[in-house]
Amino acid sequence: MEGPWSPPLGALVLLHVVDLDPSLTALHRLGGFFVLRTVGVADRCLPTLAQAYGPRPPDVQGDFLTSRVRRVAGALRTPEARVAASVAQQGLAARLWSVALGSAALYGAVPDLAPPLLRWDPEGSAPDDLWLTEVRPLPGDAATVAELVLHGHLEPLAAALRSRHRLAPGLLRGNAASALAGAARELDRWGRRHGRTDVTARARLLAAELLAHPLLAGTGTLTGTAFRRRSCCLYYRVPGGGVCGDCCLARPPRSSPRAPSG
């Protein structure tokens, strides 16, 4: 893990911690990617994300991350495991960023998202189902969000995926940045529709601060709410797929024995 990181000078930092609604009800109004369940997990034998990020077990049946990649591969009808792994990583990153940014923008605080506190259904549909076993409020500033999501989840997730699949670090960093920009863009749209300029302002500011983090810097260019990444997530290799709206590629390559991976 890198040393402590602080947002750029002049950034607005929310230092106070407010009480969070124990059910995080406000997040439900934002859409499926922002929902974080806090009830109903006690009777479900689901793994924690800490278990998913662990070393690859000798028994493939106990490898929750591999199970998720296989689930995504089946849904996409792709025979390429690394393509499914890329899409799975970006999907989980989008869920984590959405929960953290949504909480920070609406509440001014975020729940502790430590991997041992989050349960996850690797066999569920998209977006990923997440359950938080305990709501612990933390400051809703960029440094806290970076510690929770980037260091707490996306670094160990990337390491676990790379131990199983041939994925370039730049691809995974680009996926993380793209998912962050997408979450901020949805918050911006929601805020504009509902007259919540405070939400749009916080979402934009947090996204800009987080994209300046050393782990995400250089992954793309943010202009307003539009993001153009410098790597490809490989989605164009999915049957019937194409290039994403923020892709570095203008069109899918006609033939490519080895896909660009950042």
The number of folded domains in the chain is 1
Tell me the one-letter amino acid at 14: L
pTM of the model: 0.88
Residue 90, pLDDT score? 96
Residue 41, pLDDT score? 57
- Residue numbers of the domain that contains 139: 25-219
Residue 95, pLDDT score? 97
Any residues with CB less than 8 A from the CB of 110 and at least 6 apart, and which? 99, 100, 103, 104, 137, 138, 139, 140, 144, 145, 148
45, part of any domain: yes
Phi and psi torsions of 181, nearest 5°: -60, -40
14, part of any domain: no
Q: What is the dihedral of CA 23, 117, 164, 88, to 10 degrees?
A: 10
Burial class (CB in 10 A: 0-12, 13-18, 19+), 22: exposed
Residue 258, pLDDT score? 46
Residue carrying structure tokens 């106070």: 16
Residue 44, pLDDT score? 63
10, part of any domain: no
226, part of any domain: no
Residue 162, pLDDT score? 95
Residue 9, pLDDT score? 47
Residue 238, pLDDT score? 87
115, part of any domain: yes
Phi and psi torsions of 226, nearest 5°: -90, 135
212, part of any domain: yes
Residue 14, pLDDT score? 41
Residue 245, pLDDT score? 75
189, part of any domain: yes
The answer to whether the beta carbons of residues 206 and 99 sit under 8 Å apart is no
Per-residue model confidence as pLDDT tens for the chain (262 residues)? 455 777 764 444 444 445 687 788 889 899 999 999 887 655 468 999 999 999 887 766 779 999 999 999 999 999 999 999 999 999 999 999 999 999 999 999 999 999 999 999 999 988 999 999 999 999 999 999 999 999 999 999 999 999 999 999 999 999 999 999 999 999 999 999 999 999 999 999 999 999 999 999 999 999 999 999 988 888 888 888 877 877 777 677 765 444 444 4
What DSSP designation does 100 have?
A: H
228, part of any domain: no
